[in-house]
Amino acid sequence: MWKSVLIQKTLPLTVSYLLLIIAAISLDYLFHVAHLSWIGRYMGFVGTTFLVFSFGYSARKKKAGT
């Protein structure tokens, strides 16, 4: 039973995803309690920038491997 794909792969990924969501909501709550909610406005720009750089790095890496 413990060797099924559901237990070995899907369950840990689901738990880690739920923990990530809980961490994001908790961080947002703490920012609002500390009256620092303006920080969240800029976190979107930072996250988007990280995604763009990550995509560029992956694209460059795939091109170098070809």
DSSP E strand stretches across the chain: none
Q: What is the tens place of the pLDDT at every residue in 14-36? A: 999 999 999 999 998 999 999 99
Q: How far is CA 57 from CA 53, 61, 63, in A?
A: 6, 6, 10
* Domain span at 65: 39-66
Answer yes or no: do 31 and 2 share one domain. Answer: yes
Q: What pLDDT shows up at residue 44? A: 86
Quote the percentage of the chain above a pLDDT of 70.
92
CA 15 – CA 4 distance, rounded (Å): 16
Contact 40, 28 (CB under 8 A): yes
Q: What pLDDT shows up at residue 1? A: 58
| 5, pLDDT greater than 90 | no
Answer yes or no: do 1 and 30 share one domain. Answer: yes
Mean pLDDT over the full length of the chain: 87
Answer yes or no: do 31 and 45 share one domain. Answer: no
